Amino acid sequence: MEALKPDYSVIVPCYNESEVIPVFHERLKAVMNQIGRSWEVVYVNDGSKDQTLSIIKTLAKQDQHIAFLNLSRNFGKEIAMTAGLDHARCIEGVIIIDADLQDPPEVILKLIETWNEKKVDIVYAMRRERLGESWLKRATAHGFYKLMQKIGGKVVLPPDTGDFRFLSRRALNALLQLREHHRFMKGLFAWIGFPSEAVLYDRAPRIGGKSSFSYWSLWNFALEGITSFTVLPLRMATYIGLVVALFSLFYGGIIIFRTLVYGNPVHGYPSLMTVILFLGGVQLMTMGVIGEYLGRIFNETKQRPLYLIEDYHTSEIG
C-alpha cells in the first residue's frame, strides 16, 4: 500500500546556514501549522562547510515534518533547488523559500490564500522593498530584470521576483520535465507558463551569516540567465560584424580615393594600428560570445546527472 503524501512541501536549499536554520524552522513550523493541512519541509544541504547538516539532522529527530537531502558536494543553489523539487511528495503544491529569513515565512500564508482565491498555478512573491541591501545591488538587480524583460522574447520574467513562490502540483510536474544542466530557475518558472499571480512583500535583511553571492557570482548568474533564454548575444555579434565590415568598406573607399587623387606618401601607421586593434577586439569578443554558447552545448552533451545524493531522509508526514 502506497504511503500517504503531505498536501504541501516546502523546499529550502541550504549552504552554510547554521546560524539561521533553528530560527527559520521555528517560524516556518508556526506558519505551516496555521494552514491546517499536512505538510513537510525538505532541506537540501548543498555541500555546506559549517554545521548546517548536523543541525538539520538534530531538528529531524525532533520534528517528523522534516525531510532532508545531503548532496555529495556543492552543486550550486539552482541544482540544490531542483533536487528538493524532485523529492517533494506534495499533493497540492510546493513552496520554495530561502533559509536566510530575507523571505519571511509568514508570506507563505498569503501565497496559499492567493492560490486558493485566484485558482492559478503559480503565485510568486514580488519584492516591494529590499531592506538591508546596498544601493548598488538593488540597482544592478533592477537593471538585470529590465534587461531580461526586453530580451526574453516570449518568456516574460516578472520584475523584482526571486525564487520565493508557490507552485501547484501541475506546475511542478511540468517544471520537472526540464532537465538542462545550466539552470536559471527564475527563467524556467516563467518558461512553463500556466496562470500566475503576484503577491507583494518587503524583503527583510539577513538575520545571520552572509550571502554566498558575491558581485562576481551575480555577474556569472546574469550571464547564465541571458545565455539560457536568448540567442540575442549571438545576433548582436553578427550585427557588430556587419557594421564593422561596412565601416571597413567605407574607410577602404576613402583610402583608395585619397591614393588616386593625392598619391601614396606612406603615412597612416597610427590609423592602421587603430583599425587592426579594433578589428582584433571585435573578433575576440565575438569568439567569446560563441564560446559561451559552445561551452553550454558541450556540458549538455555529457548527459551527467544534475546532482548526486550522499544521504536522504524522508519526512514521516502523510
pLDDT digits (tens, 9 = 90+) for 259-294: 667 665 656 656 666 677 677 777 777 777 777 777
CA angle 79, 82, 85 (to 5 degrees): 155
- Give the whole-angstrom CA distance, residue 294 versus residue 81: 25
- Give the whole-angstrom CA distance, residue 99 versus residue 178: 25
pLDDT for 208: 54
Q: In this model, does residue 209 exceed pLDDT 60?
A: no
pLDDT (tens digit, 9 = 90+) per residue, 64-75?
Answer: 999 999 999 999
Range 50-73 average pLDDT: 92
Q: In this model, does residue 249 exceed pLDDT 60?
A: yes
- Give the whole-angstrom CA distance, residue 142 versus residue 310: 38
pLDDT for 1: 35
pLDDT for 212: 55
State if pTM tops 0.85.
no
CB-CB contact of 28 with 305 (8 Å) = no
pLDDT (tens digit, 9 = 90+) per residue, 85-133?
Answer: 999 999 999 999 998 888 899 999 999 999 998 889 999 988 877 665 5
**Residue type for position 102:** Q
Give the E-state strand segments of 131-270 in sequence order: 161-168, 196-203
pLDDT (tens digit, 9 = 90+) per residue, 139-191?
Answer: 666 666 666 666 656 677 777 788 899 999 999 999 999 988 888 888 888 88
Confidence of residue 219 (pLDDT cuts 50, 70, 90): low
Confidence of residue 2 (pLDDT cuts 50, 70, 90): very low
